[in-house]
C-alpha cells in the first residue's frame, strides 16, 4: 500500500539553526500539506501546496517557514531560524482529488 | 472559519464494551467531509472513518461507526466491542468539499483508555 514517508523521524537542533524536514508524498497525489502538533495539543495546519505553489497558509507559517517541491517527488519544510516554541511533531500529508489525506509518520523536532 | 469541538478530553471503556466519542463542528458550507483519525502512542495519524456530508447514511468500518447529524452539526464516533489496541487519541476533523487544497481542521482530541 502506498504511503507518505517522512525523514528524519527525530531531529534535535540548536535554537537559531536552520532545519529541513523531508517528505515523500504518495506519487499520484496532487495536494500536499504540512501540519504541526505541539505535545499534548491539537494538530494545526501550516501550509498547503498545489501545482508547485503554496495554496494556503496559516498564521503560524510566517517568514521563518518555507516549502519546496524541488524534484517532483520530495516535499520539504524549512524553518530558517528555529525557536524553542518550534519544538513539535511535524506531519506531512498528501491527497488525490477524491481521496482522504494520508499522513506520514511525523518528524519530532526538538529545539534546544 | 470552520471550528471543530471535542468536548470530552478523556474517555474510558471496558474491553468488549461500546463507547461513543462526541464531536461538533461549525460551518456555513453545505458540502464537506468529516473524519475521525486515531493517534496511538507512536503519534502517527491513522484514518479511522470518513463521512461525506451529502450522504445521509452513516459511515461504518467494521467495529467503528458514526452518527452524523447534519442539522445539529454533530459527528460522533461509536466503537463497538472495544479492544486494547483501540486505546489512543482520537481526533475529529473537517474538510471543505470545494475545489482546492482544503486543509483539515482538527478538534482538540479525546484520549481513549481501554480497561482490560
Whether residue B44 and residue A102 make contact (CB cut-off 8 A), yes or no, is: no
Q: Which of residues 55-84 of B touch A (CB under 8 A)?
A: none
Q: Phi/psi at B12 (nearest 5 deg)?
A: -135, 155
> Which residue has 447529524 as its cell numbers?
B69
Q: Which of B42, B104, B108 sits opposite A45 (nearest CB)?
A: B104
| Digit-coded pLDDT (tens) for B6-23 | 999 999 999 999 999 999
Confidence of residue B39 (pLDDT cuts 50, 70, 90): very high
Residues contacting A98, CB < 8 A, separation 6+: none
Q: Is the peptide bond before A14 cis (omega within 30 degrees of 0)?
A: no
| Digit-coded pLDDT (tens) for B77-89 | 999 999 999 999 9
- Whether residue B1 has pLDDT greater than 70: no
Residue A72 pLDDT: 78
d(CA B32, CA B27) in angstroms, rounded, equals 9
Residue-averaged pLDDT of chain B: 95
Amino acid at each position: 500500500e502506498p504511503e507518505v514517508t517522512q525523514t528524519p523521524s527525530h531531529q534535535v537542533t540548536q535554537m537559531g539553526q536552520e532545519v529541513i524536514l523531508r517528505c515523500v508524498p504518495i506519487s499520484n497525489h496532487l495536494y500536499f500539506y504540512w501540519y504541526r502538533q505541539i505535545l499534548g495539543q491539537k494538530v494545526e495546519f501550516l501550509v498547503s501546496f498545489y501545482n508547485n505553489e503554496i495554496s494556503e497558509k496559516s498564521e503560524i507559517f510566517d517568514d521563518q517557514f518555507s516549502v519546496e517541491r524541488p524534484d517532483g517527488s520530495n516535499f520539504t519544510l524549512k524553518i530558517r531560524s528555529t525557536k524553542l516554541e518550534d519544538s513539535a511533531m511535524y506531519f506531512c500529508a498528501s491527497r488525490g482529488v477524491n481521496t482522504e489525506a494520508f499522513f506520514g509518520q511525523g518528524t519530532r523536532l526538538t529545539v534546544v | 472559519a470552520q471550528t471543530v469541538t471535542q468536548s470530552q478530553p478523556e474517555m474510558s471503556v471496558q474491553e468488549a464494551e461500546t463507547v461513543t466519542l462526541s464531536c461538533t463542528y461549525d460551518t456555513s458550507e453545505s458540502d464537506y467531509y468529516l473524519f475521525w483519525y486515531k493517534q496511538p502512542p507512536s503519534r502517527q495519524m491513522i484514518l479511522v472513518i470518513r463521512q461525506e456530508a451529502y450522504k445521509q447514511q452513516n459511515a461504518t468500518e467494521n467495529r467503528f461507526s458514526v452518527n452524523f447529524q447534519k442539522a445539529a452539526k454533530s459527528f460522533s464516533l461509536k466503537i463497538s466491542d472495544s479492544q486494547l489496541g483501540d486505546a489512543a487519541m482520537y481526533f475529529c476533523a473537517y474538510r471543505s468539499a470545494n475545489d482546492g487544497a482544503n486543509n483539515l481542521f482538527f478538534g482538540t482530541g479525546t484520549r481513549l483508555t481501554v480497561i482490560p
